[in-house]
Amino acid sequence: MRTVPSDNLLDRAFEASTPNQRWVADFTCIWTDEGWLYVAAVVDPFSRRVVGWAMKAGMTAPLVTGALAMAIRRGGKPDNLLHHSDQGSQYASEQFPRLMADHDITCSMSRAGDVWGNVPMESFFSLLKAEWTTCEVYSVNRRGIRNPF
């Protein structure tokens, strides 16, 4: 069952005056020796740090839910936190909004087709791909994948 996408409460106001006030999130794919690897990240615009991330072979709800769960574990119990993403099915799944509700996190989503709706994440993934992955060959082994962050 797909839930109804949320309104764009962030409305491109990406600045934050304190940590854990706003988080922006998205995912991308990176080529490895075994095929595509999907990487989800949650960034705090206050510090511009990755506060949560997850990697999986598929672009499913557990990918983005894992990144948010890590951000919650690492960031403590944020108060009045706004989480912003696109309207992808992973973010609108049953699992993801339930995790946000369990931690009193307010959901914000960009409008469909809004290329400027999540610029900090596009910028982060652009840098990740340009500076970290262009000269690297990633492979999955028994110990997992080298931490890109």
Q: Is residue 103 part of a domain?
A: yes
- Which position has the token pair 């962050």? 149
* Identity at 136, one-letter amino acid code: E
CA distance 120 to 26: 10
Residue 61 pLDDT:
93
Record the pTM.
0.81
Domain containing 74 equals 22-133
Element (H, E) at 59: none
Structural domain count, the chain: 1
CA distance 132 to 126: 10
Q: Is residue 31 part of a domain?
A: yes
Residue 53 pLDDT:
94
Residue 52 pLDDT:
94
User: Per-residue pLDDT tens for 116-141?
Assistant: 567 677 777 787 877 666 555 555 55
Residue 131 pLDDT:
67
Q: What is the DSSP string of 1-28?
A: -PPPPPP-SSTT----SSTTSEEEEEEE
Residue 145 pLDDT:
52
Residue 2 pLDDT:
44
Which domain CATH number covers 88? 3.30.420.10
User: 81 with 22: CB under 8 angstroms?
Assistant: yes
Angstrom CA distances, 1 to 94, 95, 96, 97, 111, stand at 7, 10, 12, 12, 20
Residue 73 pLDDT:
93
pLDDT means per 10 residues in the chain (149 residues)?
Answer: 62 78 90 85 91 92 95 83 86 89 89 66 77 58 51
Q: Is 105 helix (H, G, I), strand (E, B) or coil?
A: coil
